Amino acid sequence: MKLIADLHTHTIASTHAYATVTEMAHEASQLGLFALAITDHARTMPGAPGPFYFESLGLLPEYLQGVRLLRGIEANICDYDGNIDVEASLQQQLDWIVASMHTITLDGKATVEKCTNAYLKLAENPNVNVIGHSGSEYFKYDYDKVIPVFAKNGKLVEINDSAFRYGRDYVGNCVTIAKLCKKYGARICVDTDAHFTNTLGRAYNTLEMLEDIDFPEKLIVNTSVENLKAYFDEKNISY
Ligand SMILES: [Zn+2]
Ligand SMILES: [Zn+2]
């Protein structure tokens, strides 16, 4: 299996990432990717750009260097009711929303019950495409209760390759989540969360893990152009 799109990446706009949109698109083009989602951090992450940056993303062309550029954001799930730090009007304007929990933007008093509630509520937000790196050890949730709801509501459960790159202790959670996505028929996306060009599109560890557990390719939206286009059609995303 091979990635045909990277659906969670950052640029210098995040201020702790180091390549421009043009450089990221160039790298994606060199790798032969069909699509690239630029998803800089939303406003409550320290150093993140303000709403005007995201409101202006429409200035970017739909295709850059032959790659479909999704104008997106990585929203912070900012409370345990599943709210995100992106205005409703901006949510509707963007092509692509990854919503994630981060220790830096959510209080440290997470419990399985609170995170389960947050994800169940988040699953009802029609503008959210991807549930970002939910394998975090800090924000464990009731996988068996929530993953079927992600499946039912068409949310893409992200398996984030950075867990493997940094040898983080939540690799085991990612495997468990992937197995449950297979069991409940939840679609997934495999992303790098690249903060520079050198990791973009290179999710080798995750792809190997998915092969090991015999994960069905029909449930992965970004290893086949056909699967991704089908998802875009469903969500009225042009290409
Ligand atoms: Zn970041
Ligand atoms: Zn993140």
Helix, coil or strand: residue 160: strand
Which tens digits make up the pLDDT trace of 109-157? 899 999 999 999 999 999 999 999 999 989 999 999 999 999 999 999 9
Ligand nearest to the CA of 45: 1
Residue 172: is its pLDDT beyond 80? yes
In sequence order, which residues have a C-beta less than 8 Å from that of residue 71 and are 6 or more positions away? 38, 57, 58, 60, 94, 95, 96
> How far apart are the CA of 166 and the centre of ligand 1, in A?
14
* CATH code, domain carrying 181: 3.20.20.140
* DSSP assigned state of 106: S
Kindly give the distance from the C-alpha atom of residue 133 to the centroid of ligand 2, in angstroms, as a whole number: 7
**pLDDT > 90? residue 22:** yes
Find the 30 Cα to ligand 2 centroid distance in Å. Answer: 25
pLDDT (average), residues 204-212: 97
4 and 35 in contact (C-beta within 8 Å)? Answer: yes
Q: Which residues pair with 35 in a beta bridge?
A: 5, 68
Q: Are 207 and 1 a contacting pair, CB within 8 Å?
A: yes
Q: List, in sequence order, the alpha helices (H) in the chain.
A: 21-30, 51-55, 88-93, 112-122, 143-152, 162-165, 171-184, 204-212, 225-234
pLDDT score recorded for residue 109: 87
pLDDT given at position 165: 79
> How many angstroms is it from 85 CA to the middle of ligand 2?
13
pLDDT category of residue 164 using cuts at 50, 70 and 90: confident
**Is 213 part of any domain?**
yes
Q: Is residue 177 part of a domain?
A: yes
Ligand 1 center to 17 CA (angstroms): 7
* Residue 109, domain member (yes or no): yes
Say if residue 168's pLDDT is above 80: no
Place of tokens 């992106």: 86
pLDDT tier, 45 (very low <50, low <70, confident <90, very high otherwise): very high
The alpha carbon of 102 and the centre of ligand 2 are apart by a number of angstroms equal to: 6
Residue 9 CA to ligand 2 center (angstroms) comes to: 9
pLDDT of residue 4: 98
* Residues 217, 1 contacting (CB under 8 angstroms): yes
Residue 129 lies in a domain: yes
- Judge whether residue 108 has pLDDT over 90: no
Centre of ligand 1 to C-alpha 10, Å, is 7
Ligand 1 mean position to 211 CA, how many Å?
Answer: 27
In a domain, 197, yes or no: no
Q: How far apart are CA 39 and CA 166, in angstroms?
A: 20
- Is the distance from CB of 221 to CB of 189 less than 8 angstroms? yes
Phi/psi of residue 72, nearest 5 degrees: -130, -170
pLDDT computed for residue 170 by the predictor:
86
**Would you place residue 73 in the very low, low, confident or very high pLDDT band (cuts 50, 70, 90)?**
very high
What residue numbers bound the domain in which 89 lies? 44-64+72-189+202-234
pLDDT (average), residues 194-217: 97
Q: So what's the pLDDT on residue 166?
A: 75
Which residue has 């929530």 as its token pair?
Answer: 146
Phi-psi region of 141 (alpha: psi -120 to 50; beta: other; left: phi over 0): beta
> Is 107's pLDDT higher than 90?
no
Number of domains in the chain: 1
How many whole angstroms from 39 Cα to the centroid of ligand 1?
9
Task: Pick the ligand that lies closest to the CA of residue 41.
Answer: 1
Please report whether residue 21 resides in a domain. Answer: no
* Contacts of 216 by beta carbon, 8 Å cutoff, 6+ apart: 182
Whole-model pTM: value is 0.97
Q: Is residue 16 part of a domain?
A: no
Compute the average pLDDT of residues 89-96.
98
Is residue 48 a part of any domain in this protein? yes
Measured in Å, residue 101 CA sits from the centre of ligand 1 at 12
